[in-house]
Amino acid sequence: AQSVTQPDIHITVSEGASLELRCNYSYGATPYLFWYVQSPGQGLQLLLKYFSGDTLVQGIKGFEAEFKRSQSSFNLRKPSVHWSDAAEYFCAVGARGTGFQKLVFGTGTRLLVSP
């Protein structure tokens, strides 16, 4: 079965600084990978996804993520953080060939943005 680890529970970044949120997955083949964001009081919104092909994927709100098979990682990055990026971020993995679109989510990383 697939699993996801987000090793950082909280991260604080200064506004304008760069951001990297870590995600490691466990799965025997190439998985489907996702990053979702949850703003306070809101549901989750998809930022980006990786299925195949180019290992650097671009998402909404200026985010990108890079799939590294050798490290089983799918880290989320943003070159310059804005105060509105303060939220909780979830990495998720889906298994291929199951017939159902079942995702396994990580435990989340809460991003705090300081002035």
Partner 1 sequence: DVKVTQSSRYLVKRTGEKVFLECVQDMDHENMFWYRQDPGLGLRLIYFSYDVKMKEKGDIPEGYSVSREKKERFSLILESASTNQTSMYLCASSEAGSSYNEQFFGPGTRLTVL
Q: Is residue 29 a contact point for partner 1 (CB under 8 A)?
A: no
- Cα 105–Cα 43–Cα 12 angle in degrees, nearest 5: 70
Nearer to partner 1, 9 or 29 (CB): 9
How many residues sit close enough to partner 1 to count as binding (CB under 8 A)?
24
In the shown chain, the binding pattern of residues 56 to 95 toward partner 1, with x for contact by CB under 8 A and - for none, equals: ----------------------------------x---x-
Collapsed DSSP state (helix, strand, coil) of residue 38: strand
Binding-site ranges for partner 1 (CB under 8 A): 6, 9, 32, 34, 36, 41-46, 49, 51, 90, 94, 100-108
